[in-house]
Chain A
Amino acid sequence: MTMPRFTAGDDPGASFPELLRKVGLDAFPRGGLSTSDLAALPHATTCLALTYDGGVVMAGDRRATAGMSISHRTMDKVVQADELSGVAIAGTAGPAMEMIKLFQLQLEYYEKVEGQSLSLEGKANQLSMMVRSNLPAAMQGFVVVPIFAGFDPLIGRGRLWDYDPTGGRYEEHDFVATGSGSMLAGTVLRVGWRQNLSRDAAIDLASRALWEASDADAATGGPDVLRGIYPIVASIDATGWNRVADDSLVKTYETIMGEVRKR
């Protein structure tokens, strides 16, 4: 492989997807599958994010489904995007995971080429462009719907965005949920969300929202006590990304299950 070099007018700048296009490695698939093939592809489901006093909490279940079957039990749909932000993704698993990977690469690539990070708003916008690039595939059914959240050092609080399949970008102030269980999870968040929640309260609320989603939506995985698989829950504040340890989630879900038994 030779070193990619460009003339001034042809230089792809700090955009990694553009660089990929220039060297002939387009990241976004142009379809060719029928809708019946589509049902057989893995789909990733419920993710959510909410703000609390000093940051945001992001959470997502671990299940991927292909039609009526469970195709993966340990998907990571919520991942750290960079030091102060994270991205969660629902939709067709293949393009979704590719988009996450590309987004992470793009943030780091920009930082290295330009010598400084994008602003949080800039990162949100970048993701919007990636979702839009996926539009031709989305029209064929390969829909990818991410949530982007992070701590904005310029204004000193957590911020979150959700997207539609056309790349529309909407900043939410309180909470957001996406994926097949989003109605259920969103309702729990709507009822439970308060201004200036503590981090612990926000983690608890996120865990409950995922519990209720998994309880009534077949495509959302609940805590898998048998295999020791728990949702991914993480907080992002001024100090960065902190994933909640499984040990701590075990206790949270034991409490929730105890309450459910008493209902």
Chain B
Amino acid sequence: MSMPFYVSPEQMMKDRADYARKGIARGRALVAMQTPSCIVIVAENPSTTLRKVSEIYDRIAFAGVGKYNEFDQLRVAGVRAAELRGYQYSRNDVDARSLSNQYAQVLGDVFSTMGPKPLEVELLVVEVGDTPANDRLFHVLYDGTLLDEKNYCVLGGDAEGIGKRLAASYRDDFDLASAIKVAVAALTGTDRTLAAADLEVATLARTGKRRAFTRVLDDAVANALR
């Protein structure tokens, strides 16, 4: 009878975490930032059809980094969870906190027990409030860790470096154009540049309209970067 090799739980979790982290670090990063008029999400993404940033519900947006097919399935699951809750109860009962908890549950389950491999994704669930103090920025890690972020949030490859640059330049009174400019500067660092076509930018506007999510078109992004 063959005996399976013993692998300590610590080692197994570490291997899985390394695996997921590697997959995520290969992907391009994105930044979300609170401003007085909106929450803006800026992602490095040359594709105009395979989106990283999308609408989940009236005031809630989703962004993912890592493997596209994995976070896109989670995006659709999020839209479903939100729509079902809104259908059963009311549109006001759909919130980012409950949604990100559900994401954390799925990612945590796959990481620790259910999946043959962990999901190589990190997610951002943001909800715009009537004031910046009521905004929610939830960052869900590959192992189901749920972080409640303030002011801004960075996901993906080189998040640490981008976070440092952003910490140095972030202010809470940016208009949309300067927020985009600062976010892009943080994403690129000093040794490269990104054109509007390499970026995917979307906002959750604080206007009180039912659907807050809007994509910022390339022309407007190019103007902001000028």
Which A residues are within 8 Å of any B CB, using their own CB?
1-5, 16, 19-20, 23, 25, 101, 105, 109, 112-113, 115
Contact = CB atoms under 8 A, between A and B. Distances in A.
A23 B84 contact: yes
A20 B87 contact: yes
Interface in B72-123: 73, 76-81, 83-88, 102-103, 105-106
Main secondary structure of the interface of B (DSSP, over half): helix
Given A115-B49, A115-B51, A115-B54, A4 B87 contact: no
A112 B85 contact: no
A20 B88 CA distance: 10
Contact of B84 (A25, A101, A113, A115): A25
Contacts of B56: 112
A3 B87 contact: no
Given A112-B79, A113-B79, A4 B84 contact: yes
Given A20-B87, A105-B87, A113-B79, A5 B49 contact: no
Nearest to B86: A105
Contacts of A5: 73, 77, 106
A1 B95 CA distance: 13
B54 A3 contact: no
A104 to B, nearest CB: 11
Contacts of A16: 83
Interface string B45-84: 0000101001110000000000000000100111111011
Given A1-B102, A101-B87, A113-B79, 19 more contacts: A1-B84, A1-B85, A2-B102, A2-B105, A3-B102, A4-B77, A4-B80, A5-B73, A5-B77, A19-B83, A20-B84, A20-B87, A109-B79, A112-B54, A112-B56, A112-B79, A113-B76, A115-B49, A115-B54
A9 to B, nearest CB: 14
Nearest to A11: B76
A3 B51 contact: no
Given A25-B88, A113-B76, A4 B81 contact: yes
B79 A3 contact: no
Contacts of B105: 2-3
A257 B76 CA distance: 53
B115 to A, nearest CB: 12
A3 B83 contact: no
A30 B73 CA distance: 33
Contacts of A3: 77-78, 80-81, 102-103, 105-106
Report, nearest first, the 8 A-B pairs whose CB atoms are least far apart: A3-B102, A3-B81, A4-B80, A3-B77, A112-B79, A5-B77, A109-B83, A112-B55
Contacts of B55: 112
A5 B119 CA distance: 14
Nearest to A111: B55
